[in-house]
Amino acid sequence: MKTATWITLGLLIVITLACTATIPVARMQAGETQTLIFNEPAPQGNAPAQVSITMGAGTLQIDSGATGLVEGMIRYNVADWKPVVSHQGSAVSITQGTNYSNQLPPQNVVNDWQLKLGQTPLDLTINAGAYDSTLALGGIPLTDLTINDGASNTSISFAVSNPARMQQLVYKTGASTVSITGLGYANVAAMSFEGGAGSYTLDFSGKLQQESNVHISSGVSNFKVIVPSTTACKVILTGAMNSVNEQGAWTVNDKTYSLPGQGPLLTITVELGVGSLELDAQ
């Protein structure tokens, strides 16, 4: 767990308390490390399942390879953070205990989530705070993906094609560092990315299986967008920022940057206030 993540969480708590009342800030107590192991079976029927993950500060790792719908091991040493796994029909939720909002985390905190997803088509939702995450989502049949997080350090990869058609991918984040690679393999029809004052890399490597419309918005941030030179792509700037550093064979017409390419069209609309945008055709 990176120390910077815990420092960020602590500062946010202190600032919040300072704005509301003058009270001493207590620190949570760490105990013996506990381990929760679970394995949820795949539901019956053809409709997509739903998996919801809700956690605060910690580390999250997701891979493929589950025998059922979702399985995992969660290690924690704060009693109030004990996670709960619940299911209703085809929906499974994995939720961290939330009795921690008015206390600083202990210095030796453990909150490590290691999960695997299976081959059941599913809608995946992640709600998290100041966490570090590594999500290897290639080959998992995702029909929807929604991520909401705070000050995160996140790496997401699609190393092989999504066997399902993803309707939408929605990512909302704060002052984070986010890298998403292999988005061409994600097989997503519509994507929206909303960032804060952070640094973000969106890499659309991989062969597109359908037309994809992407909307990127942020106030103050640094964005890098990577597109294979063989992909038919159009990038449209709509925000106040006019400065773009482009690399590769882009054709520029006013605020539209195009690659001829072949196959389905990738359309990216960028709405930025200030910051920087790098377009890289590789």
**1 band by pLDDT with thresholds 50, 70 and 90:** very low
Per-residue confidence (pLDDT) for residue 80, from 0 to 100: 87
Per-residue confidence (pLDDT) for residue 224, from 0 to 100: 95
Q: Is 82 left (phi over 0), alpha (psi -120 to 50) or beta?
A: beta
- Judged by average pLDDT, the poorest of 8-17, 100-109, 251-260 is 8-17
Per-residue confidence (pLDDT) for residue 14, from 0 to 100: 43
CA distances, 179 to each of 147, 171, 223, 272 (Å): 13, 12, 10, 18
Q: Show me where the domains of the chain are located.
A: 1-122, 165-282
On whether the pTM is more than 0.85, the answer is yes
Judged against a pLDDT cut of 70, whether residue 19 lies above it is answered with no
User: What average pLDDT does the structure give for the chain?
Assistant: 88
**22 band by pLDDT with thresholds 50, 70 and 90:** very low
Residues of the chain with pLDDT > 70, as a percent, come to 86
Per-residue confidence (pLDDT) for residue 109, from 0 to 100: 86
Per-residue confidence (pLDDT) for residue 242, from 0 to 100: 63
